[in-house]
Amino acid sequence: MKLFVAFTFVLCLAGLLRVAHGKSLGSITSALLALPTFVEDRSPDLATAKSAQLKAIAEAIERHARDRREAAFVTAWGWHETAYSLRIGRGACRVYECDKGKARGPMQNHRNGLSQADWDRMHGLENIDFQIAEATRRARSALAQCRGDVRGAFAALSGRGCEAKLKDLDKRVETFGRTVRRLQ
């Protein structure tokens, strides 16, 4: 038994076993790649930028999500808000996008008490870690507010409470379900 515990400890230290989170960078990246690519981002000229973006998002989700459910929730939320568009990620929203300029980042967060400095960090790939950390914090809060109900948490993030009806709520829940299964 002592040998098993020692071996498990060594594997954990080496980063080869992810006991605490039950998710891995490879599986988060795989989940992101399984989602359809935003139509504007399909150009071969953007392949390097798109790859860097998805890698940065996967690394940030790995760093900030506490478990695979939280990782899947954040992944699905971002895809349904922006399809992880490079253009929107840079903050180059069209007039009718980004809640008419009121929302930023892959999850389209509103300012909601962020300082000006933090609000300014809600644009750009260079700030993706901060954006995912903020999104994960908000997702965790919505999931707690709705007692772990994913459907309710997606609704709550719209600012209308756990019982609100959203036009694409079923699709968000389906994407969450597919993503959480990929992270097993």
pLDDT, one tens digit per residue, over 60-92 is 999 999 999 999 999 999 999 999 999 999 999
CA distance 173 to 184: 17
Q: Partners of 109 in the beta sheet?
A: 104
pTM of the model: 0.85
CA distance 138 to 157: 8
Structural domain including 149 reads 24-182
DSSP-derived 3-state class of residue 183: coil
Structural domains counted in the chain: 1
5 is written with which tokens? 């515990």
In-domain check, residue 13: no
**120 pLDDT more than 60:** yes
In-domain check, residue 11: no
In-domain check, residue 1: no
